[in-house]
Structures are given as C-alpha cells and as structure tokens.
A and B are shown apart, each in its own frame.
Chain A
Amino acid sequence: MKEKYVLEYSSAMVDEPVIYTLVKRFDIKVNILRAEISSGQEGSMLVELEGDRAKLDEGRGYLASLSVTLLPISNSLRVREDACIHCGSCTGVCFSGCLTMGAPDWLLAVDRDKCIACGLCVKACPLGLIGLKFGE
C-alpha cells in the first residue's frame, strides 16, 4: 500500500538519517516529492511511503519515536469548499490532478491523495479559500 505524508521534524533531527532507516530497516519505498528546510533549520518533507501494512506501521512508529510529525497529505491541504464559487482558477496551476473541474457540472473536485503540496493553488485562489500546511 501507498500513503502520502508531510513529515515535519525539528532542527535536532536534521542529522538523523531518517529516510535511510525507513528503507533499510523497514523495507519501505520512499518517494520524496518535496523537501524544504526553513530558516530555523526545521524541515518539511512530502513523501510517498510504499510497503506492507505491517512495515508501514512500524516505520510510522519509528518516526513517531523520533518526534517526527506525520501529517497525511489529505489533512495538509485545506479547501473551504463551502465558500467556493467554482471559478476554476486553482485548477489552472494544479498539475498533480488534485484540483479539477470539467463537464458536466463544472464544480471543483478535490482529490486530496493526488496533492503534491506544491502550494501554487494557495495563491491562485482569488477568494483565499485554500491553505496548505507545509513548512513555515
């Protein structure tokens, strides 16, 4: 199974070979989609983790033991859909296919699992309805 998470870790954790350990010890395939280190040396990383359920559980446990926060990508992207006017502006910059709109109803469709946390939609929404928890 495959799961997408935003990992957030403190400056104390920057020296820890987290990804190496996930691969070697837990046999988890890690696809790093986006990574950032902020000015205070805290890091954020969007990763896709693939492996057996048991291994993934163990891997998550390992990350938790290091106080690395795991935020499922679906919780990282916030779209206030109730206030959306379905203009489509956000769909023009969303290349991962998370935000789409089309026939027949031309209403915004949000597939959070496809989000890659690029953040372009946050500024593209003219009503300021989109938030993304990544870094900062």
Chain B
Amino acid sequence: MAKSYEEINAKIKAGKAVILTAEEVSRMAEEASPAEIAKKVDVVTTATFGAMCSSGCFINFGHPSPPIRMESISLNGVSVFGGVAAVDGYIGATEVSPEDPKYGGAHVIEALIRGEELLLKAYGKGTDCYPRREVATWVSKATVNEITMVNPRNAYQNYPAATNSTERQLHTYMGSLLPRRGNVNYSTSGELSPLINDPYLRTVGLGTRVFLAGAQGFVSWRGTQFNTTKPRAPNGVPEGNAATLMLTGDLKEMSADFLRAAYFERYGVSLYLGIGIPIPVLDEDMARCVSIRNRDIPVLVCDYGAEGHPAIARTNYEELRSGRVELDGRSVRTAPLSSLSKAREIASLLKAQVASGAFPLGPPAQALPADSTVRGLEIKGRAR
C-alpha cells in the first residue's frame, strides 16, 4: 500500500509517524519484510559527515559609503572570488592563503559560523558608480548581508575505498596511504549514507529539504560530475561514485558542530560537512531501498598508486568496518575517513526534527537527471 507525502506529513503532525534512522531500519530488516517495513515505518533519516571539497559560500559584504566595486577580495588573507556584482563574492573551501598553505577557505567558513571577526580587504579600480578604490575592515556574520552556502558537489552516492601499491607513502584526499598496500581507507557512512538509501533518487530531487551543517538547506541542482552510468548491484546501488547533490543553505543558521575545516597533508584544505536527508517510505520499493545493510553495499578498492586509480578489489561496508579486508590473499587494515559517530548524531537529530514537525517532507519539484555521464577534458594541442 502506497503512502503520499501528505499522508506522511499528516501522521507527523498528529504525532503518529514512525521515524527511524537508516541504521535502525536496517536492523529491523533483519527480521521484517519490505512490505512490513512499508506498513510500519514512515520516514527514515540518513546522514553523513565527511570531507567535501566542492563547497563554498556567496557573501554579500554590504556597501561602504562611498561604494566600491570589489574586484580583488580577501578574508583573513584567503582570496575570495569577486567576479560577480559589486560587493558579492564567493569563498571556496579549498582556496588557500598564500602565507599559510594549511589555512584556507574552509577555515574562513568555519570562523564565519563561529561568529569570529575576519579581516576583509578589497580593491577596485574606482568608477562613476563605485568611486571607492579600497577597503580594509573587520566583518563577521553579524555585519554582512547574506552568507549563502552553495556547494557544487556534495553527498556522493557511494565512493571507492583507496589503497596504494607503490613503494612510497602517498598523501591524498583519501588520507595517508601507506606503501605496498599497507592500508585501505574508506569514506561514506555505509547504510546510513543518504543517496545509498534512495539509489534511483525517487525522493531526493530539486527542492528537497536537507540538514546542512545544522541548518535547513535544500537540494538546488544536480551536483557536478553527476553520473548515472556506473554499474549497479542487483539492489540498485551504484558500484562507485555516481550521483551528487548541489546543496544550498543559510550559513548564519549553521553550527560549527557540523562543519569543520580540514587540511590533508600535501593535498590541501578541505571541509568536513554534515548532511542529513529524511527519506519518506512511500511504498514497498522505498522500504526495500532503505533496508539496505552494510554487507549489501558494494565498494571498489582503488589503487591510488596507479594512473587512473584502477579498481583492484571489491568489498562491502561490513568487511571494511570489521577493520580488515583481504587484498590478494593478504589481510590489510582499514580505516574510515568520514565520521560515523557524527553521522549518527545527525541522523538522530534529524529524526527528532522531523518528528517535531519542524522538518516537513515534500516531493521534489523536479527529479534529478536519469541519464547523465561525466566527460574528461580533451587536451587539444597547443593553446597559446
């Protein structure tokens, strides 16, 4: 029997909705069939807390008097993109300070959330509309107009684990990879991960309300490198990094409990970000999707020591979480890179928010693409 969004929201309002985290429903699925789960459960909360480089914020600084057309902008020495209107800028998470390669856009974003004052420097050529040529002042989230987070690519649906077959340690966005396949690092929160619980994106699309670093944000577009062509396991989950989300939210409502600046050795600055998405259990098919267990989620192990990072083994999250996987008959230690304890915290918090009625569910305004692939970049000879 199918349930509509209206019916689910009405049950939430009446205090009768059954809301579980994706881990809780996966435990329930050890005993209950999808039909039973569809009947019993209304909403399942999913979450992740991992490094997501493709993140950043638009900031409108407000006009000084006389006004300025900010062309070259920095916050605490980190470059802010100024190629938009006069006092708008975009701070990307991976932008780095020329003076300190371990300090960058993610640190600026975290400092803004914490309410700290940051040094704003901006220059313009001076025009009739905007005569001022420079500013140097202190700003915080309380002084600027908007700080709108717009993340081009978040919440990857599945992601391969990483190892390193070379003779030297590699420093990557998948962490420190020891020589001679000395370790395997993995990301994503497994059965708790948002898009793994809705592999065909039936309930997640444009306009879907999401938990974004403590605030309510929205899916504003498909994420970049959105890929529907990855092979899928029989349960529908892609074997590798497939769908992605562009997420938008108000930074002034976010919390540093769910967003942290990071620096990966000899890789650069990145941003740990907490995301949660409630999935409505509309019917038996969605019940089957949210019932997925760690052992049912395929994960490729890719060799970051070889060109193109080829897959050298297959595993699943149950094996990865056991602490060891087998590679060519050898047992290799595993470690996570995304925080499962933080993801669980978000899933529980989201459960309470949905139950309180503060986080209503709705159908996507438009579905994400069903057919999208990723192109490489062709190098066409000399471009000079």
- Give bound CA distance, A85 to B102, whole Å: 18
Tell me the smallest distance from the CB of A50 to a CB of chain B, in Å.
28
Using known A-B contacts A85-B260, A126-B264, determine if residue A120 contacts B339 with beta carbons closer than 8 Å.
no
Query: Closest chain B residue to A93 by CB distance?
Result: B176
Tell me the smallest distance from the CB of A13 to a CB of chain B, in Å.
32
Tell me the smallest distance from the CB of B312 to a CB of chain A, in Å.
17
**Residue A34 CB within 8 A of the other chain:** no
Using known A-B contacts A93-B183, A102-B323, A120-B176, determine if residue A88 contacts B262 with beta carbons closer than 8 Å.
no
Tell me how many residues of A have a C-beta within 8 Å of chain B.
Answer: 21
Contact of B321 among A86, A95, A103, A124 (CB under 8 A): A103
Binds A, one of B138-146, B236-244, B298-306, B329-337: B329-337
What is the predominant secondary structure among interface residues of chain A facing chain B? Answer: loop
**Residue A87 CB within 8 A of the other chain:** yes
Quick check: A93 and B260 within 8 Å, CB to CB? no
Quick check: B260 and A127 within 8 Å, CB to CB? yes
- Give bound CA distance, A107 to B342, whole Å: 9
What is the predominant secondary structure among interface residues of chain B facing chain A? Answer: strand
Which residues of B lie under 8 Å from residue A92 when comparing CB positions? 175-176, 178, 183, 185, 333-335, 337
Which residues of B lie under 8 Å from residue A126 when comparing CB positions? 51, 175, 262-264, 270, 272
- Give bound CA distance, A131 to B270, whole Å: 20
Tell me the smallest distance from the CB of A104 to a CB of chain B, in Å.
10
Which residues of A lie under 8 Å from residue B264 when comparing CB positions? 126
**Residue B159 CB within 8 A of the other chain:** no
Contact of A89 among B102, B334, B337, B344 (CB under 8 A): B337
**Residue A101 CB within 8 A of the other chain:** yes
Contact of B341 among A106, A120, A123 (CB under 8 A): A106
Tell me how many residues of B have a C-beta within 8 Å of chain A.
Answer: 31
Which residues of A lie under 8 Å from residue B260 when comparing CB positions? 85, 127
**Residue A105 CB within 8 A of the other chain:** yes
Tell me the smallest distance from the CB of A83 to a CB of chain B, in Å.
9
**Residue A91 CB within 8 A of the other chain:** yes
Quick check: B335 and A128 within 8 Å, CB to CB? no
**Residue B20 CB within 8 A of the other chain:** no
Tell me the smallest distance from the CB of B248 to a CB of chain A, in Å.
23
Interface string of A7-46 (1 = CB under 8 A from B): 0000000000000000000000000000000000000000
Using known A-B contacts A85-B339, A88-B339, A106-B341, determine if residue A123 contacts B176 with beta carbons closer than 8 Å.
yes
Query: Closest chain A residue to B49 by CB distance?
Result: A85
**Residue B26 CB within 8 A of the other chain:** no
Interface string of A77-88 (1 = CB under 8 A from B): 000000001111
- Give bound CA distance, A95 to B335, whole Å: 12
Which residues of B lie under 8 Å from residue A88 when comparing CB positions? 335-340
Which residues of B lie under 8 Å from residue A124 when comparing CB positions? 175-176, 265
5 A-B pairs (CB sep. < 8 Å): A85-B342, A91-B336, A92-B335, A126-B264, A128-B102
A-B contacts besides A88-B337, A102-B323, A127-B263, 15 pairs, CB < 8 Å: A87-B50, A87-B51, A87-B337, A87-B339, A92-B185, A93-B176, A93-B335, A105-B341, A106-B340, A106-B344, A124-B265, A126-B175, A127-B260, A127-B272, A128-B102
